[in-house]
Amino acid sequence: MHIHSRVMTDPAAIKRFALAGHAKVTLKSLATEQHYTYEITKADESRGGDTWFVRVLTDRDLFVYAGIVRSNDLRLRLTAKSHYGDDAGCIKAFRYFFSHLMQGQVASQLEVRHEGHCGRCNRPLTHPSSIDRGIGPDCWEQMGMGAAERSF
């Protein structure tokens, strides 16, 4: 079963999804039609605790390292291993998206999508409520978000 990408509009749901640990998010500018796809993965506890690695999808269908986000400042930081500089469009786009998100907003000229896989475990999403939030029922429970909806 193929799940098409899903537009997300709720800032709180987008933040939960993006920081769940295994998210792939596509940002599209409604003004320019330009888009970028990012992979945001959480580092394991032995590598620094609350740190997320941000990678950008290239035109060769490879994700390349862009930078890190840490829970103590929640902004994209470039490192010596970053493949992009501050002036790169993909870096500017992610920072624009993420700064609005940390203020509890989705930028009005930005469309945010997920690709139909759980942002935490990367399994395909099939239940409508899971598709809407970008997180499957088991991961939703494990994240402490209450009883999950289930269909049998």
pLDDT score for 147: 52
Average pLDDT over residues 34-43: 95
Confidence of residue 146 (pLDDT cuts 50, 70, 90): low
> In this model, does residue 47 exceed pLDDT 70?
no
Residue 33 pLDDT: 94
Who contacts 28 (Cβ-Cβ below 8 Å, separation ≥6)? 34, 35, 110, 111, 113
Place 149 in a pLDDT band, splitting at 50, 70 and 90: very low
3-state helix, strand, coil in the chain (%, to 5): 25, 30, 45
Mean pLDDT of the chain: 89
Q: Is the pLDDT of residue 5 over 80?
A: no
